[in-house]
Structure formats: structure tokens, C-alpha cells
Structure 1
């Protein structure tokens, strides 16, 4: 799924994101608004993972949609 589709389906995806990454706050998810870079940064911050791993998780999540 590309970023345009993610942005278009954002409200539906918010719940799935919270389910997958429980440490993200509602504000984290709201501010991300389809921005993969921001989301990867928040995953890196909340889970203490490397930037590359965070980006991979975001890509994998998008591929599952």
C-alpha cells in the first residue's frame, strides 16, 4: 500500500496501528497522519530500536494492508 492510500484510509488504520504497537500514544498516531518517517521515529523512540528496524516495521505493516 502506498502512502497516498495510507493517508486516505488513515482513520481505519489508526486502530490497527495501536493494536500492533501498543506503546504508541493516541497523539503519536494522530500526529503521524500517514507520515512513515514520523511513525518510524516514534517507533524508534518508544521501543528503543534502530532506525532501520523501525522503517522495516513500518514497511512490513504497510505491506500487510
Structure 2
């Protein structure tokens, strides 16, 4: 997260926020979410590139 971007993971699913654009992925559309630490030791979330059938990456 910085002043323009964020990833929100909550009971509803995963939301990506970039400036004024938000893309929501509800849990039924998500197969997995992977977590890894960034080199700066800040948390970094990375959703799986493979979502369940019927979902879109738009």
C-alpha cells in the first residue's frame, strides 16, 4: 500500500485499488492468494494468476 495503490483482503474477497479505480474479486472467484515479503520488508500480497472458471481479470 502507498498513497495511490492498495490491496485489501477481507471477508468479502480481495480488492485492488489504483488511484481511483477499484477491482473486486469475491472469494468464490479466487482459487488462492500468495503472500511474500518484499525486499524492503514491507508485506506484499500476490493473488494467484489462476482464478476459477467464469471469472475475469478485468
Using the size of structure 1 for normalisation, the TM-score is 0.24
Q: Which has the larger radius of gyration?
A: 2
Q: Whose helix fraction is larger, Structure 1's or Structure 2's?
A: 1
Between 1 and 2, higher relative CO (CA 8 Å, sep ≥ 6) is seen in 1
